Amino acid sequence: MSHTAHIRTHRKPRNRSASTIAMRAGVAGGVLGLAAAGASATANAAEPVTQTLELPTLTADLSQQVAQSAAATQQAAANYQLQAERDAAAAKAAKQAEADLAEAKKKAAEAERKAEAARKAEAAAAASRSSERTALAATSNSTATSTSTSTGSAAAVIAFVKAQIGDSYVMGGTGPNSWDCSGLVQAAFKQVGVDLPRVSGSQSTAGTQVSLSNLQPGDILYWGGAGSAYHVGVYVGDGMFVGAQNPSTGVVEKPLSYDPPSGAVRVL
């Protein structure tokens, strides 16, 4: 240990002026300021830079042009839609017209088929009527039966119906001066004690069915089906019959060929 160690320093304390202290404080402050500025600059450099763009201001003319362009675009879209609707309607109408034409052709073909069938049926009916007239004429000529050769009840029936020729036809008439067809036949057979039904349908099945080629005077002729006949008369011989035909003719005598009957029954 030095022999001077216990002795306080012999150096004199320095006199630091206020200006020196202030200068040192300013230097230190400047260094700190630079450090802070550097740190701030570093922090700012790390953040993204946002750039603001200013859009041009729309003028009145430009606004009008934009509005006109939008209106034109809207009108064009409307026109396209209208055209599309018209095209769709036209296609639908064409399809419907095609279907209608096909249906019309089908109906026309069906009508023609029915008309042809009706013509054939009418031709067949005409041929049948002609054949019936020929057969009846031949029957009349072959039998050569007349009222003069009729005797007994048949002659009385024939005499009665001939006596009524010229009387009027009245629906439901039963004499003495007006008749309908079944009323005249019923009254004629009542003269000989035969009680016939009142209506034509029943009279057509009142006796024995006979062929039109084998008629005898006094047989009942009928038109329509047996049991459903709509008209009756009396065969008087020589190919003739007497009947209350209709309001226009009244009670008349006509040849079988005038209106060929459907069948005949014999009750005498």
Domain-wise residue ranges, the chain? 71-143, 145-266
Cis status, amide bond into 56, omega within 30 of 0: no
Main-chain dihedrals φ then ψ at residue 188, nearest 5 degrees: -65, -45
Classify each residue of 1-14 as buried b or exposed e, where b means 16 or more C-beta atoms within 10 Å of its C-beta: eeeeeeeeeeeeee
CA dist., res. 219 & res. 235, Å (int): 5
**The pLDDT of residue 143:** 45
Write the pLDDT tens digit of every residue in 130-173.
Answer: 566 555 555 555 444 443 445 689 999 999 999 999 999 999 99
Q: In one letter, which amino acid is 17?
A: S
Q: What is the pTM of this model?
A: 0.48
**The pLDDT of residue 144:** 42
Radius of gyration of the chain (CA): 66
**The pLDDT of residue 223:** 98
**The pLDDT of residue 240:** 97
Pick the CATH number of 145-266 from 3.90.1720.10, 3.40.630.30, 3.40.980.10, 1.20.58.1880: 3.90.1720.10
The rounded average pLDDT for each run of 10 residues, N- to C-terminus, in the chain (268 residues) is 51 52 51 48 51 59 80 85 87 88 86 80 66 56 45 91 97 95 97 96 96 96 96 97 96 96 96
β-strand partners of 169: 179
